[in-house]
């Protein structure tokens, strides 16, 4: 991580308040999978073209997320079966600032991601649906019976957030992803895997995308919730994720299952 820290020190910073202008709650997401070694080269190439978010004295932030689903994993299955209109429900804590949200992510058939969220008490992270205000929010906007939902997968990771100088796109770079299944008790970690997500309000020119094209790094759809579920729940359906799993194994030179 020291190399990544050193590279980030060269980036101009942007505050959390300034980042609020680039929230992109209704956006197009493009994901890429790289290794930590590739990330070092990418940061070296895009230095000067992007700001790094600086918050609570840190350029790398800690995140903690807890996904909710039905007992038979209906939200996971919808993603696995490539349903175009799908949803995910999660509690998320921004650990450094102590801010927490109850969030619903909607993916529509045009490939756009729309996120709705309300603030919540971090103390309710493990049981956010015990609060009436959270239950009312979920009941209104999620297409699942709130009474059928419970915590399924916890996900802890470190995130770098970048924004281009034109402020038309954001990059989130997730590292050291740790996955803990609340149902099976199993856990998984892929230390060398980095998940990069390009968030844009439409398909506009991107210097970052050009850099990845030059490095021959192609888009790879990935969901941390789905990744964690098929790695920690042997009963979860995973036929359509096997090729992606093999890709990650080859990329990171590891054996997952």
Per-residue pLDDT of 230-242, as tens digits, reads 999 999 999 989 9
Phi and psi, residue 254, nearest 5°: -140, 170
Does position 184 have pLDDT exceeding 70, yes or no? yes
The number of folded domains in the chain is 1
- Residue 226 in any domain: the answer is yes
CA separation for the pair 142, 147 (Å, rounded): 12
The burial of 218, by beta-carbon neighbours within 10 Å (0-12 exposed, 13-18 middle, 19 or more buried), is given as: exposed
Reported as a single tens digit per residue, the pLDDT across 90-148 is 999 999 989 999 999 998 877 778 889 999 999 999 999 999 999 999 999 999 999 99
In contact, 44 and 4? CB cutoff 8 Å: no
Q: Read off the CATH number of the domain in which 122 is found.
A: 3.20.100.30
Of 21-35, 71-85, 181-195, 221-235, least confident by mean pLDDT is 21-35
Residues 129, 151: contact at Cβ < 8 Å?
no
Q: Which domain holds residue 81?
A: 2-252
| Domain membership flag for residue 180 | yes
257 domain residue, yes or no: no
């Amino acid at each position: 991580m020291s190399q990544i820290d050193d590279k980030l020190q060269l980036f101009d910073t942007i505050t959390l308040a300034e980042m609020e202008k680039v929230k992109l709650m209704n956006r197009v997401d493009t994901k890429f999978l790289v290794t930590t070694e590739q990330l070092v080269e990418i940061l070296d190439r895009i230095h000067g073209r992007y700001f790094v978010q600086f918050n609570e004295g840190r350029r790398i932030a800690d995140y903690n997320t807890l996904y909710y689903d039905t007992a038979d994993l209906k939200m996971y299955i919808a993603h696995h079966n490539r349903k175009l209109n799908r949803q995910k429900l999660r509690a998320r804590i921004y650990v450094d600032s102590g801010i927490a949200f109850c969030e619903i992510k909607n993916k529509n058939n045009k490939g756009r991601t729309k996120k709705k969220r309300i603030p919540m008490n971090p103390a309710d992270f493990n049981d956010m649906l015990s609060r009436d205000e959270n239950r009312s929010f979920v009941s209104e906007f999620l297409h699942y019976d709130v009474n059928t939902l419970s915590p399924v997968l916890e996900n802890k990771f470190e995130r770098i957030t970048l924004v281009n100088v034109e402020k038309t796109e954001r990059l989130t770079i997730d590292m050291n992803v740790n996955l803990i299944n609340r149902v099976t008790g199993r856990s998984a970690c892929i230390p060398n895997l980095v998940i990069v997500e390009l968030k844009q309000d439409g398909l506009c020119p991107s210097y970052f995308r050009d850099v990845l094209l030059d490095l021959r790094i192609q888009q790879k759809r990935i969901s941390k919730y789905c990744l964690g579920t098929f790695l920690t729940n042997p009963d979860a359906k995973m036929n359509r994720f096997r090729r992606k799993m093999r890709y990650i194994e080859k990329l990171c030179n590891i054996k997952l299952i």
